Structure 1
Amino acid sequence: MPETAGAGRRFSLLVATMFLGLLLVLANRAAAQEDADTVRLDGRALFSVSSSDSLRAEERARRVEQRLRVLVRALETVPKAAVEASGDERIVVVAGVRITTVSPIDAEDSLTDIDTLAGRWATAIETGLRDAVDRREGFGGGFFADTMAALQTVLSRAWSSVISVVPRLLAAALVMGATLLVASGVNRVLVVFFKRRIADKTLENLIRQLSYYSLILLGVLIAADALGFSPGALVTGLGLTGLVLGFALKDILSNFVSGLLILALRPFEIGDQIVVGPTEGSVERIELRATQIRTYDGRVALVPNAEVFTSRIVNNTADPIRRGNVLLQVGYSTDLDALVERLRGSVASVQGVLDDRPVTVRIDELAADAITMNIGFWTDSLRSDYKQTTSDVRRHIASTMEDMGLPLPEPDLWRVAPAHLDEWKTALSWRDGSSHPAQGHKDE
């Protein structure tokens, strides 16, 4: 189940990354533009034009289409299209109107010479104009013909876009699918490698995540290229909008950078028992967004890495052993020397208390009604072992007190004694049958 959830989170991040990248490219107009576009009249393709030094192919095609639409409304009969030479270029003219210019780049892209291409364009324009004029003289007249022409133009362009985009989308989907398979395969190989060679879970987590997301980023760049976007333009778009994204996604980026720093600096490792603010438990995962901590009552807490990195961290298991302390209160009549020796031996015999570290018994406080003793010992730093050993130590201390006949502290029972006991006895002696002190003094 955790692996499935992790895969789902990684896939969601992948989709978000791709979507963000495409939006950046489109927003900054950094995507690669098409080098050719089709000129249409009433939705019917006539010929394709290439981009020129001053105009993109799309703008150039729309200008030619606008001239043809105006010319259709003005002509009743279509004269023969003529081709005029103008330096290295050729101009197609119909009824004295310059329709388009054929440039050497157009001929080069069409793999032919400029005169042959100009003749083809002139024939296509002439045929297209005649068909358009005939349609407007038929059923429904010009209004019906213009309406159908607009509809057919929209449908033709939509279909051309589908034909152009769908293969690219499929190619991008195949690239991302293959990338996910490769990244998952590499992830599994690393798991097996670390399991057999290296037992450092934190290092394994760092290398696995870096390799996984590096492969995903590579797949995104290849998929963007398959969609027609230049990887260089994608990177440029990311750079141009980096400042805006820095403000908009500062929390996400802060968690990401903090995750990398935690994995690199390693203030704690997977399996350590730590305290971060109000959260205490065992570290289960260190991801690039959050650190997963299993609390001692079985709940899972996801603490953002930025909060973890900037908070005060107490690592209870940074060292394998940990010191424990138990406070004990005894009366002033207690034989302290005998009690200290008995406590040292009793605590040292507890299972879990380390033999190579001495048990210490110190006097912490001389209170008004009791002496406070601090019994110190060393044990395993894991919480389960520490808590159990501390409990056993308290139980042995209670048994030692009982064996020595010493009363255990009773905080609800207090004994109050007057400061001048003899004067109080004299003052209260008349209650036992003797004369009142004041009366005896008067008789004398």
Structure 2
Amino acid sequence: MEKWIALIKEKLESWLTTLVKMLPNLVLAILVAVTFYLVARLLRKLMYKLLLKISHKAAISGLFSSIFFILILLIGFFISLQLLHLEKTIASMLAGAGIIGLALGFAFQDLTANFISGVFIIFRKPFDVGNIIDTNGFTGIVEEIQLRSTTIRTFDGLHIMLPNKEIFQKPVTNYSLSGKRRIDVTLTVPGKSNVNDMERRIQHALEEIPEVRNDKSEVLYTDYNGDAIKLEVHCWIDNTIERGYFATRDKVLRAVHAAMLTA
């Protein structure tokens, strides 16, 4: 029993001696950790403001500033451990973090893919909030771009939440990038029709529509088989307003129909 007590006493004395020797290192490690924490907080605020000016997205700015904050904290933490001569602990922690990261990567593949796609969409900006786009069979107005998904409001009033991975990997038509869009109307008329007079009436009808750019309107022959003539009416309209294409197309069709009746 006395031997056990002596061993315990010797061990405690050894620990106390080590603690006294390492006390300056411990104080220095704490000072380093606190300094890195304060610096990390300051740099996080600066990084957030800088990214917000670049991306104009609070979500993406907050995400990357937080990642930057954590990285600085980890650097300070590892330096503090080195001051305490705990290099083996650092190696074990890095190995464990790598294994956990690999496991999480396999477990959340879709979530990771959506997140990375969302970052690319926000920074590359193939479209922005308020744009009219067509993707994955849905056409509508972009209402919100998040890191995981993008919300589109269709012209029927439905809100569609599309995973960013599906948008990033498939074609996207952004109608709002081009301010003008062409409307095509196909006509079939009898072969004996007075096409010149018909063209004049159609052009005059299109001139009455304010949204149509009359300098680019045209009526073209596309086919003739003796009994019938096929024509195409082309006109360009303003495509920057919501439902502008559909509303103006309706006006164009009505105008062409009225012109055909009087031809």
Return the TM-score normalized by structure 2: 0.72
- Give the corresponding residue for 1:325: 184
- Give the corresponding residue for 2:59: 209
1:111 Cα offset (Å): 5.3
> Of residues 109, 133, 140 in structure 2, which corresponds to 1:250?
109
Instruction: Indicate yes or no: 2:16 matched with 1:107.
Output: yes
Return the TM-score normalized by structure 1: 0.45
> Of residues 206, 210, 218 in structure 2, which corresponds to 1:360?
218
Q: 1:212 to 1:345 in 2, by over 3 A?
A: same
> Of residues 224, 233, 248 in structure 2, which corresponds to 1:375?
233
- Give CA deviations for 1:383-423 in whole Å, capped at 9, x if unaligned: 5111111111111112222333xxxxxxxxxxxxxxxxxxx
1:271 match: secondary structure? coil
- Give CA deviations for 1:342-374 in whole Å, capped at 9, x if unaligned: 21222132120024x421101122357532211
Give identity over the alignment, percent: 25
1:288 match: secondary structure? coil
1:269 match: secondary structure? coil
1:102 Cα offset (Å): 2.7
2:211 match: secondary structure? coil
Counterparts of 1:378 and 1:274 in 2: how far apart (Å)? 19
For the pair shown, which has the larger CA radius of gyration, 1 or 2?
1
1:231-380 alignment runs, 5 A limit: 237-355=96-214, 357-366=215-224, 369-380=227-238
One-letter identity of the residue aligned with 1:330 = V
2:5 match: secondary structure? strand
- Give the corresponding residue for 2:5: 92
1:364 match: secondary structure? strand
Asked if the contact 2:60–2:147 (Cα under 8 Å) also holds between the matched residues in 1, the reply is: no
| Larger RCO of the pair (alpha carbons < 8 Å, separation 6+) | 2
Q: 1:290 to 1:251 in 2, by over 3 A?
A: same
Counterparts of 2:233 and 2:221 in 1: how far apart (Å)? 9
1:262 Cα offset (Å): 1.6
Q: 1:265 to 1:235 in 2, by over 3 A?
A: farther
Asked if the contact 1:351–1:389 (Cα under 8 Å) also holds between the matched residues in 2, the reply is: no
Q: 1:313 to 1:218 in 2, by over 3 A?
A: closer
- Give the corresponding residue for 2:249: 390
One-letter identity of the residue aligned with 2:59 = Q
Paired residues in the alignment total: 229
- Give the corresponding residue for 2:31: none
Greater per-residue strand proportion? 2
- Give the corresponding residue for 2:262: 403
Counterparts of 1:334 and 1:106 in 2: how far apart (Å)? 108
1:393 match: secondary structure? helix
Counterparts of 1:303 and 1:350 in 2: how far apart (Å)? 36
Counterparts of 1:321 and 1:370 in 2: how far apart (Å)? 32
Counterparts of 2:186 and 2:11 in 1: how far apart (Å)? 99
Counterparts of 1:332 and 1:321 in 2: how far apart (Å)? 33
One-letter identity of the residue aligned with 1:269 = D
1:107 Cα offset (Å): 2.6
Alignment gaps of 5+ in structure 2: 22-36, 82-89
One-letter identity of the residue aligned with 2:15 = D
